[in-house]
């Protein structure tokens, strides 16, 4: 079966024909100009010289070109021509020819008499008209509603709820939309009103678009999709026109689903003092609000929006009657990751030794898109290495690639390699010694991505949402351990601790400003977080005095200094183990279990009461969910 053309044929577009007409007219114009050029056979003589030769009877075979106002003649056996610019000049020539009984041939040049007006007026007018029409068509094409408006996809999408894993709560929330589209009369009979719009919010790659397609696939209805950026243009009124056209098409194909991706591009909060660009965005948003109000609740049309920035959406979009329900599509937990891995393992030849359950535990914090990339990378690596099936080695390499990036062929000098080995060993030794730190699963001094050196991989035995103050302090101490190891062994640190310091400082500041874990500043929140929680926004709006800012800085520094001192004490107490791990790393470059378990057995561990400030603060927080239950990568 022949493939259908994806787009409209170019030659069917009026813009194509008008663009082709312009050079055609130019060529025609040039040809006409050439055809009406005056004839210039022979040598030119001035009018005075011509009259003198005429009076001497030295002119033979004259030919008068009427439109050109020229006379061609022979004189002394040569060809000449001369202009007769005025009517008196032509009459004098004709009178002299009559007196001399000289036979004059006259060429009326009828062709030029017809073509010359067209050349002077019609052709330039036609050319200008084509330019104007082409400009109008281009402007209309750029501004018109047809550009960028999606075509209706076929009914019966192949994606169903069985293809959506890792977000069972989100699937349960939208399942009733499927039921409404299949049996709208049931809701009408009981008096319930179906949701008019559903807003899917969550980090990138968690499956918001997939969930919307699954609803359409389950209900077997047309699925329309558009991006918020398609409605925002520099031309006034373009976005509103596109919104009207799209909603009109959806109504004609009801029951249907309209999916608006990146809704924040068109639904951003309206400004009080709008600029020209903001006015166009506001008009688009206003039209979107009007169209959503214009739907009959039982018309069989459901609008699904998706965004990573619900914090910037206009409140009018989020009120009841428009987007009635917000569904959070977050990163999956361990059970969800296992289900997602099983889906993406379909059609791939896995070695029996590959344990998806173990892989699900090693990939905490990854989204569905990340997990799909892990399985695909593993398959590509297996094919590249010529293996008949995907083995655990390819899976582990794929996880490293997705999380940390590809290996870099960075040649380290022996001194640099030794510094990196002690840096990573410091992270591992302190993590082994602290009771609240996560287990170390792998240490490597191989450079990946943008990292200057290696990495220490730590994976929690069980995923946690709440972390105590002691656990957060342990995380900061482990981050500081790399620098502490360098200064203990070499007397000074390197620039390899840059990322560690950023992580430790950010965590200490969050403890002080957001979590109320500072005894001197009290259990208060200082500043307001700016930015979407789903995009890792960590900027803060300062709403406190300069004196309080200085106090916050001192408290952040105190927490970081205490964590560094804790890491330094642990490393001094475990210097033999530190040297042993570093030497093994320099030889092998990557260390995994069971070697790690054997080395960890010799570490002098701190008891649970020796971490932190010794006051046993057990307050918990949900603010560090990005750290809890995630694969920690300490550089």
Nearest to 482 by CA among 409, 427, 527: 427
**What is the reported pTM?**
0.69
Residue 318 scores a pLDDT above 90: no
Active site residue 424: yes
Q: Can you tell me the mean pLDDT for 170-180? A: 83
Instruction: Please write the tens of the pLDDT for every residue from 467-518.
Output: 899 999 999 999 999 999 999 999 999 888 888 999 999 999 999 988 889 8
Q: How far apart are CA 408 and CA 446, in angstroms?
A: 8
Distances in Å between the Cα of 622 and the Cα atoms of 172, 465, 466, 472, 502 are 24, 6, 5, 12, 21
- In order, the DSSP letters of 95-138 are HHHHHTT---EEE--HHHHHHHHIIIIIHHHHHHHHHHHHHHHH
- Would you give the distance in Å from CA 225 to the centre of its chain? 17
When mean pLDDT is compared over 78-82, 108-112, 220-224, 480-484, the highest value belongs to 480-484
- CB-count exposure of residue 536 (10 Å: 0-12, 13-18, 19+): exposed
DSSP 44: E
Instruction: Give the model's pLDDT for residue 553.
Output: 92
Instruction: Give the model's pLDDT for residue 381.
Output: 92
What is the β-pairing status of strands 223-227 and 78-83? unpaired
pLDDT greater at residue 233 or residue 443: 443
Instruction: Give the model's pLDDT for residue 519.
Output: 86
Instruction: Give the model's pLDDT for residue 474.
Output: 92
What is the β-pairing status of strands 78-83 and 70-75? antiparallel
Q: How far apart are CA 377 and CA 388, in angstroms?
A: 15
Instruction: Give the model's pLDDT for residue 627.
Output: 36
Q: How many Cα neighbours within 13 Å face the side chain of 520?
A: 13
Q: Minimum mean pLDDT among 247-261, 274-288, 372-386, 442-456: which range?
A: 274-288
Instruction: Give the model's pLDDT for residue 146.
Output: 45
Q: How far apart are CA 89 and CA 48, in angstroms?
A: 10
> Rounded to 5 degrees, what are φ and ψ at 273?
-120, 95
Q: How far apart are CA 315 and CA 269, in angstroms?
A: 7
Instruction: Please write the tens of the pLDDT for every residue from 254-305.
Output: 888 888 888 888 888 876 555 555 677 788 888 888 888 766 665 678 889 9
Q: How far apart are CA 396 and CA 361, in angstroms?
A: 12
Residues paired with 591 in a beta bridge: 443
Locate tokens 């990163």: which residue? 331
Instruction: Give the model's pLDDT for residue 617.
Output: 39
Q: Which of 173, 377, 424, 510 is catalytic?
A: 424
Do 220 and 258 form a contact (C-beta atoms < 8 A)?
Answer: no
Largest CA distance in the chain: 137
Nearest to 538 by CA among 503, 571, 590, 562: 503
Structure tokens at 627: 């750290």
Residues in the chain: 635
- In order, the DSSP letters of 234-274 are SSTTHHHHHHHHHHHHHHHT-SEEEEEESGGGTSBPPPSS-
When mean pLDDT is compared over 8-22, 117-131, 522-536, 540-554, the highest value belongs to 540-554
Instruction: Please write the tens of the pLDDT for every residue from 23-33.
Output: 776 777 666 66
Residue 120 scores a pLDDT above 80: no
Burial 409-419 (b: 16+ CB within 10 A, else e): eeebeeebbbb
Instruction: Please write the tens of the pLDDT for every residue from 570-622.
Output: 999 999 999 999 999 988 888 887 888 888 888 888 764 444 443 333 333 33
Distance separating the N- and C-terminal Cα atoms of the chain: 54
Structure tokens at 248: 């009109």
Q: Which residues contact 22 (CB under 8 A, 6 or more apart)?
A: 127, 130, 131, 134
When mean pLDDT is compared over 1-5, 234-238, 414-418, the highest value belongs to 414-418
Instruction: Give the model's pLDDT for residue 190.
Output: 81
């Amino acid at each position: 079966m022949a493939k259908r053309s994806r787009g409209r044929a170019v030659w069917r577009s009026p813009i194509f024909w008008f663009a082709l007409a312009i050079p055609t007219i130019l060529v025609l114009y040039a040809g006409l100009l050439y055809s009406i050029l005056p004839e210039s056979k022979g040598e030119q003589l001035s009018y005075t010289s011509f009259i003198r030769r005429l009076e001497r009877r030295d002119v033979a075979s004259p030919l008068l070109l009427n439109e050109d106002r020229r006379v061609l003649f022979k004189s002394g056996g040569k060809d000449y021509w001369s202009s007769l610019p005025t009517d008196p000049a032509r009459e004098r020539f004709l009178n002299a020819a009559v007196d001399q009984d000289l036979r004059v041939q006259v060429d009326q040049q009828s062709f030029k008499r017809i073509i010359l007006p067209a050349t002077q007026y019609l052709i330039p007018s036609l050319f200008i008209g084509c330019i104007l029409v082409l400009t109008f068509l281009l402007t209309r094409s750029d501004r018109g509603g047809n550009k960028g408006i999606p075509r209706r996809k076929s009914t019966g999408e192949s994606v169903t709820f069985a293809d959506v894993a890792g977000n069972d709560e989100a699937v349960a929330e939208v399942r009733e939309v499927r039921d409404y589209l299949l049996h709208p009369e049931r809701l009408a009979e009981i008096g319930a009103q179906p949701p008019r719009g559903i807003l899917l919010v969550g980090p990138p790659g968690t499956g918001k678009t997939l969930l919307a397609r699954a609803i359409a696939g389950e209900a077997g209805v047309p699925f329309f999709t558009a991006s918020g950026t398609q409605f925002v243009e520099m031309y006034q009124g373009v976005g509103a026109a596109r919104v009207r056209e799209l909603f009109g098409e959806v109504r004609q194909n009801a029951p249907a689903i309209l999916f608006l991706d990146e809704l924040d591009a068109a639904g951003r909060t309206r400004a009080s003092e709008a600029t020209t660009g903001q006015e166009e965005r506001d008009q688009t948003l206003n039209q979107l609000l009007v169209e959503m109000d214009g739907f009959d609740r039982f018309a069989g049309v459901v609008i699904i929006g998706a965004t990573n920035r619900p914090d910037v959406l206009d409140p009018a979009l989020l009120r009841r009657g428009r987007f009635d329900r917000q569904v959070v599509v977050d990163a999956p937990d361990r059970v969800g990751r296992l289900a997602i891995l099983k889906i993406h393992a379909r059609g791939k030849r896995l070695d029996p030794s590959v344990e998806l359950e173990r892989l699900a535990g090693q990939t905490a914090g990854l989204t569905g898109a990340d997990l799909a990339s892990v399985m695909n990378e593993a398959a590509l690596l297996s094919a590249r290495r010529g293996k008949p099936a995907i083995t655990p080695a390819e899976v582990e390499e794929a996880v490293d690639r997705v999380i940390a990036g590809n290996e870099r062929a960075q040649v380290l000098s022996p001194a640099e390699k030794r510094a990196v080995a002690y840096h990573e060993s410091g992270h591992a030794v302190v993590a082994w010694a602290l009771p609240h730190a996560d287990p170390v699963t792998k240490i490597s001094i191989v450079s990946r991505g943008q990292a200057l050196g290696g990495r220490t991989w730590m994976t929690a035995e069980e995923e946690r949402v709440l972390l105590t103050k002691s656990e957060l302090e342990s995380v900061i101490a482990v981050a500081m351990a790399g620098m502490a190891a360098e200064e203990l062994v070499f007397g000074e640190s390197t620039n390899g601790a840059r990322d560690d310091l950023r992580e430790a400082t950010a965590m200490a500041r969050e403890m002080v400003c957001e979590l109320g874990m500072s005894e001197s500043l009290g259990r208060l929140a200082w500043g307001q977080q700016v930015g979407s929680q789903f995009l890792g926004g960590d900027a803060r709006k300062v709403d406190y005095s300069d004196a309080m800012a200085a106090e916050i800085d001192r408290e952040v520094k105190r927490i970081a200094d205490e964590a560094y001192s804790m890491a330094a004490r642990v490393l001094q107490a475990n210097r033999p183990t530190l040297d042993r791990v570093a030497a093994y790393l320099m030889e092998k470059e990557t260390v995994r279990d069971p070697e790690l378990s054997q080395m960890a057995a010799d570490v002098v561990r701190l008891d649970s009461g020796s971490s932190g400030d010794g006051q046993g603060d057990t307050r918990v927080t949900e603010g560090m969910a990005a750290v809890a239950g995630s694969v920690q990568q300490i550089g």
